[in-house]
Amino acid sequence: MKLRDIQKLLEAELICGEESLDEEIDYAGASDLMSDVLAFGKPGLLLITGLSNVQSVRTADIIEAKAIVYVRGKKPDKDSIELAKKKGIPLLSTRLMMYKTCGLLYSQGLSGIGESQKKER
């Protein structure tokens, strides 16, 4: 699923990263605990979170996530946006709750990270 399609599906505002809207997203993971993201995340992940501080961007960079979707209408601060631009990580914000965000993406065929790992084995 292209990031552009995810943006439309979630009625999300693109905060930065317009040049990456045609990137293909293969799987997603959702958490507000960045320690969980560090433990289970892997390159290519679409990170879905309500944690809108700079730690979410730093974590996404470490795991080489393709993009971050902030839920519940959360938006990152200026420092987070600048870091995301520097690291090439697109940021989106949706008013949807995390549960609905995940459900919509799953219903459209986007796999969860656990499923992607099972497919690779």
Residue 104 lies in a domain: yes
- Residue 75, SS3 per DSSP: coil
Rounded average pLDDT over 54-63: 98
Residue 39 lies in a domain: yes
Whether the per-residue pLDDT at 32 is higher than 70: the answer is: yes
Residue 8 lies in a domain: yes
Calpha distance 95→64 (Å, rounded): 25
Residue 41 lies in a domain: yes
CATH for 31: 3.40.1390.20
Rounded average pLDDT over 19-41: 95
Residues above pLDDT 70, as percent of the chain: 94
Calpha distance 106→98 (Å, rounded): 12
Residue 101 lies in a domain: yes
Domain count, the chain: 1
- The pLDDT-based confidence of 115 (bands split at 50, 70, 90) is low
Residue 117 lies in a domain: no
Q: For residue 89, what are the domain limits?
A: 3-110
Strand residues in the chain grouped as ranges (E): 13-16, 27-30, 46-49, 67-70, 91-93, 111-112
Whether the per-residue pLDDT at 121 is higher than 90: the answer is: no
Whether the per-residue pLDDT at 118 is higher than 80: the answer is: no
Residue 53 lies in a domain: yes
- Summarize pLDDT for 69-113 with one digit per residue, the tens: 999 999 999 999 999 999 999 999 999 999 999 999 999 999 998
